[in-house]
């Protein structure tokens, strides 16, 4: 029974990570910041662990306080995450409109440096995930409240593995897609596309309900 529970928890966390909100911002921001694969994966791991840690804390509180707290958190935290995505996306969008891209003398597009510092971009990605617990994972904590601390801790570990692995996989696939589709030709519009995409992800956070 325990192995079946942990397997279901891992599968749920991995599939939950397929939501665009869990990988698209990392692929977009990593490209805009000119991050290496290692840097992108570091942000994915940090954000994924923060996401699961907050989910575990909220799940523990739900076990203690019951479903009333679950309903309150489910209504509040997604809005906080969406607001951060809107602000981050709006910054990229406004900056791209104010600072129009310049063409170099040759066929190459003259690209400016990263629009924000690496530390700020890294922190924003982690914060976006940290303030939005995995709502689809929370029922596991409530359903297994009688299993004790050991069962809840084991669930948290498999949630972390499934979430980080899923986020990393889909982020890497997105990065590979840019190379395959030769999207570098659209580099001059990168800021605007990034801003609009992050705002779109924010809308997904608001509209999505598991």
Beta strands in the chain (DSSP E): 102-103, 109-110
CA distance 159 to 35: 27
Predicted pLDDT at 112? 46
Cβ proximity of 164 and 48 under 8 Å: yes
CA distance 13 to 168: 13
Structure tokens at 173: 């696939």
pLDDT, one tens digit for every residue, the chain (210 residues): 778 888 888 988 998 888 787 888 898 888 888 899 999 999 999 999 999 999 898 888 777 765 555 555 555 556 666 776 677 677 767 766 765 444 333 334 344 445 578 898 899 899 988 887 777 787 777 777 677 788 889 999 999 999 999 999 999 998 887 654 454 444 455 566 667 766 776 776 667 555
Nearest to 160 by CA among 30, 10, 40: 10
pLDDT tens digits for range 118-138: 898 899 899 988 887 777 787
Structure tokens at 208: 């999505």
CA distance 25 to 3: 33
Count, in order, helices (H) and strands (E) of the chain: 8, 2
Predicted pLDDT at 178? 63
Cβ proximity of 23 and 174 under 8 Å: yes
Predicted pLDDT at 43? 95
Q: How far from 27 is each of 32, 139, 172, CA to CA, in Å? A: 9, 29, 8
Nearest to 163 by CA among 26, 19, 5: 19
- Tokens 């050991």 identify what position? 150
pLDDT tens digits for range 35-71: 999 999 999 999 999 999 998 988 887 777 655 555 5
Structure tokens at 91: 């910054």
Q: Looking at residue 133, what DSSP letter applies?
A: -
CA distance 154 to 148: 10
């Amino acid at each position: 029974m325990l192995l079946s529970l942990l397997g279901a928890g891992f599968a749920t966390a991995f599939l939950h990570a397929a939501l665009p909100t869990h990988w698209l911002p990392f692929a977009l921001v990593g490209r805009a910041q000119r991050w290496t694969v290692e840097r992108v994966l570091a942000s994915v791991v940090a954000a994924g662990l923060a996401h699961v840690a907050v989910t575990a804390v909220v799940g523990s509180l739900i076990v203690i306080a019951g479903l009333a707290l679950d309903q309150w958190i489910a209504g509040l935290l997604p809005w906080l995450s969406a607001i951060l995505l809107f602000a981050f996306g709006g910054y990229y969008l406004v900056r791209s409109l104010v600072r129009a891209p310049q063409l170099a003398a040759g066929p190459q597009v003259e690209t400016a440096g990263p629009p924000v510092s690496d530390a700020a971009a890294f922190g924003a990605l982690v914060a976006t995930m940290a303030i939005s617990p995995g709502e689809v994972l929370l029922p596991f904590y409530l359903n297994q409240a009688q299993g004790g601390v050991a069962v809840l801790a084991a669930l948290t570990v498999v949630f972390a593995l499934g979430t980080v692995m899923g986020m990393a996989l889909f982020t890497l696939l997105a990065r590979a897609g840019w190379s395959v589709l030769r999207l570098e030709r659209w580099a001059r519009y990168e800021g605007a596309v990034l801003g609009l995409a992050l705002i779109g992800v924010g809308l997904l956070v608001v509209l999505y309900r598991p």
